[in-house]
């Protein structure tokens, strides 16, 4: 049987853990007795969800996942939208060799078609992409072909592959994955972390 995973979910901008699909996903994973999950923790953005500050968000995720190599090896991160940015930036600041089991990005972005003022720092301030890539055993970004934030799904796929060596899965719906239930997220989680 696969080693049990510590799952950390980082919600998207302006949403808490009790919103969208975050709680639903936990229930669905718990119902799957064979899914290798030890814990499921939602790490909300800090200090205020309405205006996430990069350093505060990274500090909060670092504290949540810890630094013990044996724990990091069992760490699975699911970052939604800006949550994917938090995860990537956290990985980029961790010491070399701090390998996590994997990073599943949901509507993850490195560029946006029409960025808002709130996310502009996240686009303008670079991070060590090579270190982020090296500290994740694997990275998958699930994006939608109908996301108004990233209209060119094939361009996103190419960018993530080139910059992070990430696999990108393009699904037809549902925009920015903002529903109470997201089967595509569940299926990606089961496929990616259930192996």
Interval 61-102: pLDDT, tens? 999 999 999 999 999 999 999 999 999 999 999 999 999 999
pLDDT one-digit tens code per residue, 3-56: 899 999 999 988 889 999 999 999 999 999 999 999 999 999 854 556 889 999
In tens, the pLDDT along 128-155 reads 999 999 999 999 999 999 999 899 999 9
The CATH code of the domain that includes 160 is 3.40.50.1820
Domain count for the chain, please give it.
Answer: 1
Three-class SS state of 42: strand
Q: Which domain holds residue 142?
A: 5-193
* Spatial distance between the Cα atoms of 37 and 33, rounded to a whole number of angstroms: 9
In whole angstroms, give the CA distance from residue 141 to residue 169.
Answer: 6
CB 107 within 8 A of CB 149: yes
**The whole model's pTM is what?**
0.96
What residues form DSSP beta bridges with 78? Answer: 9, 104
On whether the CB atoms of residues 108 and 188 are closer than 8 A, the answer is: no
């Amino acid at each position: 049987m696969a080693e049990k995973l510590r799952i950390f979910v980082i919600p998207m901008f302006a949403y808490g853990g009790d919103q969208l699909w975050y709680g639903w996903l936990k229930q669905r994973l718990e119902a799957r007795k064979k899914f290798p999950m030890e814990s499921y923790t939602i790490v909300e953005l800090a200090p205020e969800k309405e205006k996430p500050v990069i350093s505060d968000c990274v500090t909060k995720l670092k504290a949540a996942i810890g630094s013990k190599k044996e724990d990091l090896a069992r760490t699975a991160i699911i970052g939604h939208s800006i949550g994917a940015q938090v995860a990537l930036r956290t990985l980029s600041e961790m010491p070399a060799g701090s390998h996590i089991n994997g990073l599943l990005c949901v509507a993850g972005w490195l560029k946006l078609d029409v960025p808002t003022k709130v996310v502009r720092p996240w686009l303008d301030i670079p991070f060590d992409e090579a270190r982020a890539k090296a500290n994740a055993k694997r990275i998958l970004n699930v994006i939608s072909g109908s996301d108004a934030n990233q209209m060119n799904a094939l361009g996103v796929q190419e960018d993530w592959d080139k910059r992070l060596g990430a696999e990108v899965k393009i699904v037809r719906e549902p925009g920015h994955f903002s529903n109470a239930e997201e089967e595509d997220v569940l299926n990606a989680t089961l496929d990616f972390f259930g192996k």
